[in-house]
Amino acid sequence: MVNPPGMFRRVQEVGMTDELMKAAVATWATKDLPARLDVTTTAKLLGFAEHDIQVLMSSGKLVPLGDPAPNAPKWFAAVEVIRLATDPDWLHKATREISKYWRHKRERRQSGDTRSHLVCAHGGVVVNHSLP
């Protein structure tokens, strides 16, 4: 199997060991996954709903490849998604982030605030006034 140039350097930057890398590549190969995954496949592998992927991206827990425009399709590296799917600490934090987002959304709805809000990674809130 030939590995893409720079793959191991990128993997070492995110702290993946050679053993974990081999396991991720083996999983990737057995699942017949492409190198880039769309939102649907990413959500399925991580065990989240598709609409939760946007929340994970906004909170900084999941980073798409490249620098996509807000309305562009998002792509994720398969080996990174597999690594995240096998990391219980990341899954715990991501699940808490999703729960926090939906709890705040319910609270806003119950309080009568109908504006769309999205909590950013730095704790700020982005308000979209264009929605009713």
**pLDDT means over runs of 10, the chain (132 residues):** 43 60 71 88 94 94 93 93 91 95 87 61 53 47
- Residue 105 resides in a domain: yes
For 53, the token pair is 């992927």
Cα 80 versus chain centre, distance: 10
Is 17 part of any domain?
yes
Q: Which domain holds residue 96?
A: 7-128
Is 0.75 topped by the overall pTM?
no
DSSP letter (8 states) at residue 125: E
The pLDDT value recorded for residue 108 is 84
Instruction: Name the helix (H) or strand (E) containing 119.
Output: strand 116-119
- Residue at 95 is within a domain: yes
Q: pLDDT (tens digit, 9 = 90+) per residue, 37-48?
A: 999 999 999 999
Total domains, the chain = 1
Task: Quickly tell me which residue has 């308000």 as its tokens.
Answer: 127
Q: Is residue 2 domain-resident?
A: no
Residue 1 lies in a domain: no
Q: Look at residue 45 in the predicted model and tell me its pLDDT.
A: 93
The pLDDT value recorded for residue 89 is 93
pLDDT at res. 116: 56
Predicted confidence (pLDDT) per residue in 109-128, tens digit: 888 765 555 555 555 555 55
The answer to the question of residue 36 being in a domain is: yes
Domain assignment present for residue 84? The answer is yes
pLDDT of res. 126? 56
Q: Beta strand pairing status for 76-77 and 36-37?
A: antiparallel
> Residue 32 class from Cβ within 10 Å (0-12 exposed, 13-18 middle, 19+ buried)?
exposed
| Contact (CB, 8 A) for 121 and 58 | yes
At 24, list the tokens: 């991720």
- pLDDT for position 1: 41
